Each structure stands twice: as structure tokens, then as C-alpha cells.
Amino acid sequence: MFKVKLYASTFATKTCSISKRGFQIIHPRGMDPTGLTSRVTRYFWPSVCLVFFVLYLVCNTYNVAAPPRSRRTKHHQGEYQAYVAPAAATAAGRITERNRVNFTSGVKEVWRDNIVYPQVDITDFPPLDPSLCPSMKEDIEIAPADSMPLIALASFPRSGNTWSRSLIQIASGYSTGSVHWETERNLPCVREWFKAGVKDFMLRKGVCVKSHFYGPEHVPIFEGGAILLLRNPYYSLASEFLRFHSRQLNDTEDVIVSMMKNEDERWTRNYLPTYDKWKNTALSWITRCKRLMIVFYEDLERNTVYELTRMVAFLGQPIQPMRIQCAVHSYASMKGRMNHTSQMNFDPYTPALHELLDGYIDEVNRTLIRKQAMPLPTYKKYYQET
């Protein structure tokens, strides 16, 4: 039997005896112990239940029992904490620069309207150890169902989407999905490499989701935001024309180049809706996506490690320098593979096509400038004689 001291609200001292039969109140001063006994009995078990409930909430909130690779990375509202809020507004007072911290990656983000710029530093990355890279290509995982945020990797075709997916997979350790999974799931390269891309992307098994769509109903599906890849349209349009006619229509390269050189209507007229698609893809994601990171293909070619690190941070994944460098090392051969200037020694764009395309570039650029976002690079107008 144990004896403990209890202090009642009257500040009188009482002795409580605890035995196998329960609580026994020994009151040496002759006061009725019934009230104190009932009070202890009334609050003891509710207090125990409250303690266990609080422990349950803490464990599930911070996921302390889960291994690092299996922790949920889904973005929730309020996950980005305001870091600084400078009063940097336009003359109209509508656009304000906001700095936030991405809790899942731990990286500071600068927001200009809905455009996000992750702030990363790669100066302390260790030297690459190529011997580690083969194993990193083999340990790509498909995330558990409903464990990833829906974040699009959006682009006009031939803008580096496949290359970026390959880089992201090795850098993050997770496979990527695709909104085009129903038409791509039987392709050998997809089944072998983009394994999350053979299942419905709404299962949220991919760290990001490839998309060439841009409709007003499509963009809002991605509540986690999107990475938009933008490439010089003079190159992406010509590349897509070559790809479509060679793979879909089985035309030879010589035939396709001849069409463009001789201003065939299949190039100068029938292909014009594809020009609109380049513009609409850019404008729709820029104006409709609530959280957007823009990656210029030319920057990705020039400084792949830095741009890939920014993408990994935006996706909410931990920055692992060796994985990022191995991704770039493993897929350096894909860089520039869509450059078709070596196939033609002429400018395939007529003056009318130049005027049309320059107008589209200017429209996209003005939209970015209105948001105080980084403008488009100065695009070369395809082949230029030296």
C-alpha cells in the first residue's frame, strides 16, 4: 500500500491510500471523504484518455513512425508559411512579391503573383561519384496510391518533357505519371522507364504528371500546381512537325524537309492550329494555375543541375545532391537531341509565319511582364547564317 498527499481546494492536507481495491481516502480530521473520492474517480479516466488522444494526434501529424521515403508529401492548404512580405507592387497595386518557405522541401520560394521561384544554392554540392549512378537508376519507386500531390509537368510537345521526367525520376527517386496514360501505357519505353505512367494519374502515384493539355477544365485539376516547360517555338514547332510526319505518317526526313523548304501548305497553312496551341498552352497555364514554376528549356540545357534542383524543390522533395548530379550525368545524352538545325541549312519560316509567331511570343511575354515574372529569353529565329 502506498500513501500520497492530495491538496484540496480548501488547502487542507489529506492522505490517500491506494490498494488493490482502489482509492481509500484517510481523513485524519474527521471530514467526509466521499466528495474527494468521487472527484478523483470522475476525472482520472477522462484525463488518461485525453493524454492518449494528444499522443495519437502528434504521431499522425508528424508521421514519426514512417521511414523517410514513404512519408506523405501531399501539399495541404497553409503548408507554405509566409517568410517576408515586402510591399513590392506594380503601379496598379495588384501584384505583390511574397516570400514563403516550402515545408516539404525546406526551400524558400519567391512568389510573383502565381509564379513561383524556388531559391536554391548548389555551390556546396559534392563532386559527382559516377559509380553511384547505375544503382540510382534502378531504385526508382512508384509512390503508394494517394501519397503524392497532383503537380503537372506541362509543356507544348517537343519542349523537353521526356528529358525532364527522366531527370526528375532519378533526382527524386520516384516515378512520374502522365495524363496521356491510356494512349502511352503500351509503349515499351513507358512500361520500362515511366512505370507510374501506365496507371491513371489520378491515383497520385507519380511525383509529377506529364501533360500537353491546357484547357480551362484541365489546369485546375492540379491543386499542387505545375511546372511549365517553355521552349523557343521556332524550334519546338519545327521539331513537332518533323516528329508527327515521320512517326505518324511515316514520311521520310527528306520529304518532310522538302515540304518546309518549298512552303508546302501542309507546313504553311494546315499546321497553323499548332502555332495557336503553343501560345494557348503557355497562356492557359500562366493565367489559370494557382502555383506555377516556369522552366525555360534553354536554361535547362545551359545549367541543368541548377534548374533540376529548383524543380525538385518545387515538387516538395528533399534535395539530394548526388542523385541530382547522377540524373544529369545519366541523361546528358538527351540534352539537345531535339535540335534539328543540323538537318536544315535554311529558315523554314516564311515572313508571314515569322510575323504570326513573333506576335504570339510577344503576347506571352507581355503576360509574364504584367505579373512581374521573368520574361522569355531572347529567342533566335531558327536557322541563321553565319
From 374, 264, 344, 329, select the one nearest 130 (Cα to Cα): 329
Residue-wise pLDDT for 108-153, tens only, equals 999 999 999 999 999 999 999 999 999 999 999 999 999 999 999 9
Residue 332: the pLDDT is 82
Q: How far apart are the first and last CA of the chain?
A: 100
Residue 300 · residue 307 · CB < 8 Å: yes
Q: Cell numbers 542523385 label which residue? A: 323
Pairing of the two strands 292-296 and 226-230: parallel
**CA–CA gap between residue 234 and residue 238 (Å, rounded):** 6
| Sheet containing 22-26, strands listed edge to edge, beginning at the edge strand earlier in sequence | 2-7, 13-19, 22-26
The confidence score (pLDDT) of residue 36 equals 58
Could you give the angle at the alpha carbon of 95 between the alpha carbons of 75 and 289, nearest 5°?
40
Radius of gyration of the chain from Cα atoms? 30
pLDDT at 39: 66
Cα–Cα distance, 80 to 111 (Å, whole number): 11
Does residue 342 have a pLDDT over 70?
no
Phi (first) and psi of residue 74, to 5 degrees? -65, 135
**Nearest residue to 1 (alpha-carbon basis) of 14, 19, 15, 16:** 19
How many C-beta atoms surround the C-beta of residue 17 within 10 A? 14
Residue 159 neighbours by CB under 8 Å, 6+ apart: 229, 230, 231, 236, 297
Q: Kindly tell me the burial class for residue 86, based on how many C-beta atoms sit within 10 Å of its own C-beta (0-12, 13-18, 19 or more).
A: exposed
Above 90 in pLDDT, residue 47? Answer: no
More confident residue, 89 or 56: 56
Three-point CA angle 175, 177, 181, nearest 5°:
135
Residue range 73-97: mean pLDDT, rounded: 37
Segment 205-257, tens digit of pLDDT:
999 999 999 999 999 999 999 999 999 999 999 999 999 999 888 999 899 99
**pLDDT category of residue 345 using cuts at 50, 70 and 90:** confident
Nearest Cα to Cα of residue 251 among 188, 237, 259: 259
β-bridge pairing 209-211 and 177-178: parallel
> Residue 148: what pLDDT?
96
Query: Can you give the pTM of this predicted structure?
Result: 0.75
For the chain, give the mean pLDDT. 81
More confident residue, 187 or 31: 187
- Band (49; pLDDT cuts 50, 70, 90): confident
CA distances, 344 to each of 39, 215, 260, 341, 385 (Å): 91, 34, 10, 5, 11
